[in-house]
Chains A and B, each alone.
Chain A
């Protein structure tokens, strides 16, 4: 194998794949990157067995072939190279030379056969979705996934694909985010997929918004493909909890607040809130929202914000960081909050959003002790 590539193209390919290379591994070949020549240049691939990323960049191929070499070292070398064309050649299977200007490197590689094969997914039966639409769903929901190990199913984002719409839902059991977009029918069967957020991060990072992606599933994997780049991920198995059931339909109190002012007030209250519970109290009265927080051994704080509210007075406790996080992803200047009672789920939605998407966040209160 022998090819010449610009330093920039090499760095571009490496940075696309780097995130899929595990920092620590018991299988040595996983610390390596797979380099293969193609008709258009070279393909770089990496995997940690949960997720695999593969991308193709332009290069002048002299002799076709394939080899794996230590990813971290190759990346460090590429970063320090002078701005000249990089010549890479593999003599035999395990000796890779890299030349750039007057610099020369020899690296020990591992044969291509040791590199795990990519999961078999059936791209002939694929959904075709605009990358931008997918990214919009990911951005607005994946923050809400659980990071606790106790319920693995909640460590993933639920992605429902239907003929006319797709929807993503994420929750940690205390707060939840759901977004839905209409899509044009695309032939592939409906599906419910539970995707690790790590893979979704890569989708957001690697595919330009205007690109159309082909998405297909294998037995327990999902593949995303554009003309140059592919991402594969393991799916999380098991039934997702029935989230529809916990989204309140009879919340009869609602408030409309300015997102910026609400965020500022919550941040001020958070300073005094307990580091563990982040508990604050919200008191809704006609036209006015009062905030208060009391933390033993620390102190107390209060604030007020004029809002639109004409329901019965309501006192409700929340984890301030859950509310702040939800507000961060709300796409509008104003937000609409709905409630039923102090110990029932509250919802947050964008107010006055002229967008085909439907977005809703939900947060469970903290029990007020007094």
Chain B
């Protein structure tokens, strides 16, 4: 008996952040053809996404907004609609899950689907199923997706680039089983996933630019040139071979909030205030996912782009604003002790997750029983947890600013973008209370 070929799709939302920004702001962003999402024109953040029209000017994701504006001065810049993006992402995933239970979110706007075993269910070519999925997503969310189909994740991922409207595709591209090598031949090596600029350059120095260039090399030769690991996967990938499974339960390993400031921050007071704000946000994200975290990491990017971080792992997982902020402050102070210059970016990350509902390991020395000198107080008490959940409930009902730490009142504030960029906002003035 032969195993049937695998049926893997990669669903990629077209210009996702741009599309969502247009949906939430039909009058502003919705009408701008030249649109950059990432932050305002004055911000020091980076481009999160740009409309296809702006990309023609050479604007790319990850580029500082200031530079993008120099390339395309007429562009409209808007902040990342973070919440809307998460909502729409979840909505697309929900549609995809109607077609197969094996859906792996690869990023906020990219999903792998394994349609293995659905041959009888969808008695049609894979491309036809893909078109129906595409229509279903558009109908449910108003967003357009492109779909690459193949016998593995690599081929699907490369195929979606061909399918994209920006690349002249019609939204779906399927590579039939057996045609993988032929399909791969048309690409340059730097188009393959995981081939970054450095590796591409290293390959090019040895005359390897295109997939056919690399097809001429056998595996030992590639291993000799690139080392065991890289040599092997390049050898497999140029042949369209990839046996990575579609992992439907991708376990989240960490979450973070960070913020690039409109100007470098110098005083400890300013920094600690921003840290308090970020700690509160990432702790709220954590509780929102029903998790607790043991490891807290603070990241600092100094004005000269030197990036440093410090982390602490606690005995028990925590979830409250106070616990996260307390540990984060201690870490920031440690970082500032070694180097005290202007700070461009500050971030707080949480990892080492445990389910919040995990049973508690009882402790030998609790509170007073520790004896000797006053024991170190527990990082988080039940009261802290209750307080944080109460705040979440209040904010859920009346908005984020309904209640906040006193230290964060009556001053200009800014809203951090998702992980990468930041968005300054007009001063809030008196906080509503």
Contacts and interface: CB of A to CB of B under 8 A. Distances in A.
A366 B369 contact: no
Contacts of A148: 313-315
B312 A171 contact: no
A200 interface: no
Given A149-B312, A279-B359, A239 B364 contact: no
B132 to A, nearest CB: 31
A239 B358 contact: no
Interface string A220-241: 0000000000000000001111
B359 A368 contact: yes
A363 to B, nearest CB: 9
B413 to A, nearest CB: 32
Bin chain B's interface residue count: 20 to 34
A149 B313 contact: yes
Contacts of A366: 359-362
B120 interface: no
Interface string A38-66: 00000000000000000000000000000
A276 interface: yes
Contacts of B355: 276
A117 interface: no
A274 interface: yes
B372 A150 contact: no
A67 interface: no
Contacts of B362: 174, 343, 364-367
**Which residue, A171, A173, A175, A242, has most C-beta atoms of chain B within 10 A?**
A173
Contacts of A246: 364-365, 369
Which of B360, B365, B369 has the most CB atoms of chain A within a 10 A radius of its CB?
B365
A91 interface: no
B369 A174 contact: no
Given A151-B376, A173-B315, A367 B369 contact: no
Contact of A173 (B249, B358, B364): B364
A256 B108 CA distance: 55
Given A150-B376, A151-B376, A241-B372, A276 B363 contact: no
Contact of B372 (A176, A240, A345): A240
Interface residues of A, number: 33
Contact of B358 (A151, A277, A343): A277
Interface in B350-368: 354-355, 357-365
A173 B363 contact: yes
B120 to A, nearest CB: 28
B372 A239 contact: yes
A135 to B, nearest CB: 26
B27 interface: no
B382 interface: no
A345 to B, nearest CB: 7
B370 interface: yes
B375 interface: yes
B364 A171 contact: yes
Nearest to B354: A276
A369 interface: yes
A274 to B, nearest CB: 7
Contacts of A350: none
B371 interface: yes
Interface string A239-252: 11111011000000
B297 to A, nearest CB: 14
A260 B379 CA distance: 39
Contact of A345 (B354, B359, B364): B364
B373 interface: yes
Interface string B76-89: 00000000000000
B359 A173 contact: no
Given A276-B358, A367-B359, A174 B372 contact: no
Interface string A267-284: 000000010110100000
Q: Which one of A149, A150, A238, A297 has the greatest number of beta carbons of chain B within 10 Å?
A: A150
Nearest to B370: A241
A317 interface: yes
A240 B373 CA distance: 9
Contacts of A239: 371-373
A362 interface: yes
A274 B373 CA distance: 36
B364 A362 contact: yes
A171 B313 CA distance: 18
B313 A367 contact: no
Nearest to B379: A150
Contacts of A343: 362
B178 to A, nearest CB: 37
Contact of B364 (A176, A277, A319): A176
B372 A364 contact: no
Contacts of A367: 359-362
A73 B241 CA distance: 44
Interface in A61-106: none
A354 to B, nearest CB: 30
Contacts of B354: 276-277
B57 to A, nearest CB: 47
A238 B373 contact: yes
Nearest to A279: B359
Nearest to A318: B361
B361 A364 contact: yes
Q: Which among A149, A241, A343 has the highest number of chain B CB atoms within 10 Å?
A: A241
A173 B373 contact: no
A171 B249 CA distance: 37
A273 to B, nearest CB: 11
B364 to A, nearest CB: 5
B206 to A, nearest CB: 33
A5 B347 CA distance: 56
Interface of B: 249, 312-315, 354-355, 357-365, 369-373, 375-376, 379
5 contacts: A150-B379, A238-B372, A242-B372, A277-B354, A364-B361
Given A151-B376, A239-B372, A241-B372, 4 more contacts: A150-B312, A173-B363, A276-B355, A366-B362
User: Closest 3 interchain pairs by CB?
Assistant: A242-B371, A239-B372, A364-B362
